[in-house]
Amino acid sequence: MKKTPFKFKENTIRQQCNTDTPVYRSGDTFQVDGGRRTAARHFISFFLAFSVLFMVAAINCSAQQGSTSLRDGQHDFDFNIGVWKTHIRRLLHPLTGSDEWVEMNGTVRVRKVWNGRAQLEEIEADGTGGHFEGLTLFLYNPQAHQWAQYFASGEEGVVNKPQIGEFKNGRGELYDQESFNGRTIFVRFVWSDITADSHHIEQSFSDDGGKTWQPNFVATLTRDRDTSASGGIPLPIASNTPDGAHDFDFHFGTWKTHIHRLQKPLTGSSSWTDYDGTSVVSKVWGGRASLLELEASGPAGHIEGVGLRLFNPQSHQWSLNWTNSTDPVMTTPMVGKFANGQGQFYDQEEFEGRIIMSRNGFSAIRPNSSRFEQAFSDDAGKTWETNWIMTFNR
């Protein structure tokens, strides 16, 4: 039986999709059985084949257009930069039926870090709920076009699970799922009523899958023009200084940084590469936390990263949190402390599909220099392979 081929021109589909990317291979052939058929049947076969082709083209066009429709939201939080007076209302016992609120007044200081791809917010307030200190690190993910906000309170010095989301029509909504009083709930954080000199934030919980939301933290912020006009953002003074709270004071300042990096850890490789750059370490919470901003370049490329160090006054330990420009998500925190002039910090994490142990160490600490070393172990800490060495010189 004779086959009748039908070829459709590639540029026809390109015009429909308004793109230079073809949606099928050039020269694709669609065949319809010939033989003893009426002209109507011949036309119907042609029409069905042509319709299927354009349905595929439409789906392809939609996917292509969708992939480019995400807006760049890197500057969505720019309104938040500066110094703010804040009034806070806080529900003491969320999701219990209680309506007992406390009120506080304080100051919020927000500054850009990481060349504008992140922000650090410091909060200090007092009122009927006592003294409150917190910080939030905002990280923008350019691949996902979303923001993540990581919060830590001064009482615990531990970074919470981030809320993640984006801004639409001048309103920001960020979400996460977490455990609260032994139950799994949704958390929503909303930024709204944004003007040049004020904005509103509200945190809510939901224990019914997002059907209903109960606000439990509400804050109104108004710009503190007196402080902003002074040209500086004063740092809060630590309310207490337990042992170990200032172990990282040696690292404040600007440092020339040399990095020696093992390219393929835990493979038996001995191929290293080097980078040179600058590290800037700034004081947070009067010294009970600090922020490191690293930028370096070498034969293997460019490195940018941010490290947030937080002191936990309950355990008297530090947690080291890290993120880099290629994957702007906070890693598992390294936890440890200083003893005899050296700091040792550990965690368990996934590396190349395997669970390993990781160790960070600070040593050779002098007024104008120090050394950092990272090592991995894939045998539960029996042996360690160093894979990252940084030397700091003021």
Question: Among 47, 67, 87, which residue terminates a domain?
Answer: 67
Residue 242 domain-assigned (yes or no)? no
Same domain, 51 and 103: no
Same domain, 126 and 209: yes
Rounded distance, CA 364 to CA 380, Å? 26
Residue 331 domain-assigned (yes or no)? yes
Residue 236 domain-assigned (yes or no)? no
Question: Among 30, 45, 67, which residue terminates a domain?
Answer: 67
CATH number for 341 = 2.40.128.20
| pLDDT of 17 over the 70 cut | no
Residue 243 domain-assigned (yes or no)? no
Same domain, 83 and 177: yes
Same domain, 224 and 142: yes
Same domain, 266 and 371: yes
| pLDDT of 39 over the 70 cut | no
Residue 304 domain-assigned (yes or no)? yes
Residue 311 domain-assigned (yes or no)? yes
Same domain, 86 and 160: yes
Give the confidence band of 48 by pLDDT, cuts at 50, 70, 90: very low
Token reading at 38: 């009426």
What's the domain range around 24?
Answer: 3-67
Token reading at 224: 């503190």
pLDDT of residue 228: 53
Same domain, 210 and 115: yes
Q: Give me the chain's average pLDDT, please.
A: 84
Paired with 288 in beta bridges are: none
Amino acid at 134: G
- Give whole-number Cα distances, 253 to 2, 231, 353, in Å: 82, 20, 37
- Give whole-number Cα distances, 262 to 232, 276, 296, 320, 371, in Å: 41, 15, 16, 21, 16
Paired with 389 in beta bridges are: 260, 373
Rounded distance, CA 248 to CA 254, Å? 14
363 in Cβ contact with 345 (< 8 Å): no
Report DSSP state, residue 93: S
Backbone angles phi, psi at 45, to 5 degrees: -60, -45
Same domain, 218 and 90: yes
Token reading at 186: 């949704």
Paired with 156 in beta bridges are: none
| pLDDT of 59 over the 90 cut | no
Percent of the chain whose pLDDT exceeds 90? 72
The domain tally of the chain equals 3
Burial class (CB in 10 A: 0-12, 13-18, 19+), 386: middle
pLDDT digits (tens, 9 = 90+) for 303-360: 999 999 999 999 999 999 999 988 889 999 999 999 999 999 999 999 999 999 999 9
Residue 244 domain-assigned (yes or no)? no
204 in Cβ contact with 214 (< 8 Å): yes
Report DSSP state, residue 378: S
Instruction: Report the chain's C-alpha Rg in angstroms.
Output: 28
Q: Which of 5-9, 44-48, 293-297, 384-388 has the lowest mean pLDDT?
A: 5-9
Residue 237 domain-assigned (yes or no)? no
Longest dimension (CA), the chain: 95
Same domain, 264 and 340: yes
Q: How many CB atoms lie within 10 A of CB 229?
A: 9
> Residue-wise over 26-36: b if at least 16 C-beta within 10 A, else e?
eeeebebeeee
Rounded distance, CA 259 to CA 297, Å? 9
Same domain, 196 and 130: yes
Same domain, 86 and 197: yes
In the block, tokens 């300042």 appear at 253
Rounded distance, CA 84 to CA 198, Å? 8
Token reading at 353: 């599909």
Token reading at 348: 């368990």
How is 69-80 classified by DSSP, letter by letter? -----TTTTGGG
Question: Among 48, 67, 86, which residue terminates a domain?
Answer: 67
pLDDT of residue 138: 97
Rounded distance, CA 38 to CA 7, Å? 21
Same domain, 381 and 263: yes
Rounded distance, CA 386 to CA 262, Å? 8
